[in-house]
Each structure stands twice: as C-alpha cells, then as structure tokens.
C-alpha cells in the first residue's frame, strides 16, 4: 500500500500543473452552459420540466458521458505514451511494484478527471438553481419528491458516474499498456467504446455492461424531478456497484497479468 501511495503522489505531480487547474472552472462553466441551454427547452415546453434538479441531472449526464469518453481515451493515450517514450521504463527501474505504478497512474488520472466531473456537476447544479431553483417536484400541492430526497439522489448518481469514469479510465489504461503506443491504444479504446454501446442493444448483455450504468442514476434523478416516479438512483446503485466492481476487478487483473509478463524492451 505504501508503494501505491508513493506512486500515486508521483503520478499526481504530473497532473497538478498550473494549466490543468484551469480545467476545473472550465468544466463547471461548460456543464452550466449546457444545463442552461436545456433549461431554455424545458421553459418552452419542448422537453423536460422546469425544475432545477432536472436541469442539474441532465447537465451532469452530458458531463458524465463526455468525461468517461475523454477519460478512457486520455488514459489509453497517456499510458501508451509512457511506454513509447520510455517514461514507463524509468518508472519501473524504481523500487515500486509494476502493478502499483500502473494502478497509481490510472488512479491519478481518474482522480484528476473526477475533480473536473465534480466541478461540472456542481456547475450544472448551480445552473439548475439559478434557472428554476432547487425545489421539490410537485403536482399541485402534492409533493412527489422532496428537495432533500432529490439532493441525496443527485449525490448518489454523481458518485456512480465517478465510479463509471474510473472503469473507463482503467479500460483505456489497459489498452494503453497492452499496445504500448498511444495511437493504437486510442484507436482500440474507441473501438471498445463503440463495441460496448453496440452490445448494450442486446438485452441479455445490457445488465452486465458498465455503459448501461454510467448515467443510470442521473436518469432516475431527471425522471424523479419531472414527477415520473420510478426506481430511484439508490435503488439501481447496488447493481451498478456490482457491475463496476466486476469490470474494474477484471481490468486490473488483466493489467497486472500483462504488465507482470511484459518485457520493457524499449
């Protein structure tokens, strides 16, 4: 564990540059702008409901999908480039376990992108608050979903998005590791993403794919905020956690196997 923490500190140094700090407010502003644009449509009755939580959930959904896609591609490119440039060779000459270094690289990327996603979700929440206010979903005088419930469900949904993003980063990192070059890693990650989306149309497989659960919590919040009572984010969370854990475990185990056997030749 000490080796993993040390490697995480090392890899975090590479991300925490002055330039990358600007990504946080940028993510918040972009997500807020997206949510606000959805608010215009909701206000005109085109789709959605004039409810701040609906805007927040819809805005955060866009941010979560973008963030997972960017995370997977970025991890593939970064890990592939580490091997192609020799940075991995330098790192693996240090007294750190191979798997610990790789996992730390992914964890650092994941936490950096996770912060950006959190900023985006807060931006979307703020946009929802400013546009319609963060009020309970009601029908006449009847409260369909209280404000506290919607806030809690939103938090759970965002946590699920963060986990889903972690799986995406790990999958990209595995392909970066396996190919050892950024170009093929990015291409194979894009193919994997497209493949997962295609497989999601097969009902037997859909409940086992991480893409199914990436934004499922936010979908529930959006529905709840519109008064469409169905399963809550907290209801789908256990299944989502199970699927994410299986994929993450599988990807990390495969990475450990590949890296353990790999000759770091050049």
- Contact letters (x/-) for another protein, 9-38, by CB under 8 A? xx--xx--x---------------------
Q: Is residue 46 near another protein by the rule CB under 8 A? A: no
Q: Is residue 230 near another protein by the rule CB under 8 A? A: no
Which residues 130-169 are close enough to bind another protein by CB under 8 A? none
Residue 12 CB, nearest distance to another protein (Å)? Answer: 9
Contact yes or no for 4/104 (Cβ under 8 A):
yes
From the list 45, 46, 93, 204, which residue makes contact with another protein (rule: CB under 8 A)? Answer: 93
CA-CA-CA-CA torsion for 241, 108, 86, 174, nearest 10 degrees? 10
Nearest Cα residue to 213 out of 52, 62, 65? 65
Q: Is residue 231 near another protein by the rule CB under 8 A? A: no
Contact yes or no for 137/224 (Cβ under 8 A):
yes
Closer to another protein at the Cβ: 96 or 256? 96
Q: Is residue 45 near another protein by the rule CB under 8 A? A: no
Residue 95 CB, nearest distance to another protein (Å)? Answer: 4
Orientation angle between helical segments 216-225 and 233-261, nearest 10 degrees: 160
| Of 91-99, 145-153, 181-189, 249-257: span binding another protein (CB under 8 A) | 91-99
Distances in whole angstroms, Cα of residue 118 to Cα of each of 99, 168, 211, 245, 264: 27, 16, 19, 21, 36
| Of 61-69, 89-97, 163-171, 214-222: span binding another protein (CB under 8 A) | 89-97
Q: Which residues of 134-153 are buried (b: 16+ CB within 10 A; e: fewer)?
A: beebeeeeeebbeeebbeeb
SS3 45: coil
Q: Is residue 102 near another protein by the rule CB under 8 A? A: no
CA-CA-CA-CA torsion for 46, 49, 51, 55, nearest 10 degrees? -60
| Of 5-13, 32-40, 137-145, 225-233: span binding another protein (CB under 8 A) | 5-13
Q: Which two tokens stand for residue 107?
A: 């964890």
> CA-to-CA distance for 229 and 243, rounded, in angstroms?
24
Q: Is residue 95 near another protein by the rule CB under 8 A? A: yes
Q: Is residue 265 near another protein by the rule CB under 8 A? A: yes
From the list 41, 44, 90, 257, which residue makes contact with another protein (rule: CB under 8 A)? Answer: 90
Closer to another protein at the Cβ: 7 or 42? 7
The residues that touch another protein, with contacts defined as CB under 8 A, are 2-3, 6-7, 9-10, 13-14, 17, 85-87, 89-97, 101, 261, 263-266
């Amino acid at each position: 564990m000490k080796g993993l923490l040390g490697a995480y500190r090392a890899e975090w140094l590479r991300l925490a540059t002055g330039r990358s700090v600007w990504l946080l407010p940028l993510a918040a502003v972009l997500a807020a702008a997206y949510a606000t644009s959805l608010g215009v449509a909701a206000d005109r009755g085109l789709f959605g409901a004039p409810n701040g939580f609906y805007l927040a959930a819809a805005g955060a959904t866009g941010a979560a999908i973008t963030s997972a896609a960017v995370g997977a591609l970025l991890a593939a490119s970064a890990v592939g480039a580490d091997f192609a440039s020799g940075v991995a060779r330098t790192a693996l000459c240090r007294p750190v376990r191979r798997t610990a270094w790789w996992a730390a690289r992914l964890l650092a990327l994941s936490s950096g992108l996770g912060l950006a996603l959190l900023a985006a979700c807060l931006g979307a929440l703020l946009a929802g608050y400013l546009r319609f206010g963060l009020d309970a979903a009601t029908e006449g005088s009847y409260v369909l979903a209280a404000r506290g419930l919607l806030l809690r469900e939103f938090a759970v949904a965002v946590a699920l998005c963060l986990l889903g993003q972690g799986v995406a980063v790990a999958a990209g990192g595995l392909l970066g590791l396996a190919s050892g070059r950024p170009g093929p890693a990015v291409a194979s990650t894009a193919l994997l993403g497209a493949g997962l989306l295609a497989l999601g149309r097969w009902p037997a497989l859909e409940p086992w794919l991480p893409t199914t659960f990436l934004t499922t919590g936010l979908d529930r919040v959006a529905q709840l905020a519109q008064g469409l009572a169905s399963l809550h984010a907290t209801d789908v969370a256990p299944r989502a956690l199970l699927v994410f854990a299986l994929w993450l475990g599988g990807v990390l185990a495969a990475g450990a196997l590949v890296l353990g056997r790999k000759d770091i030749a050049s």
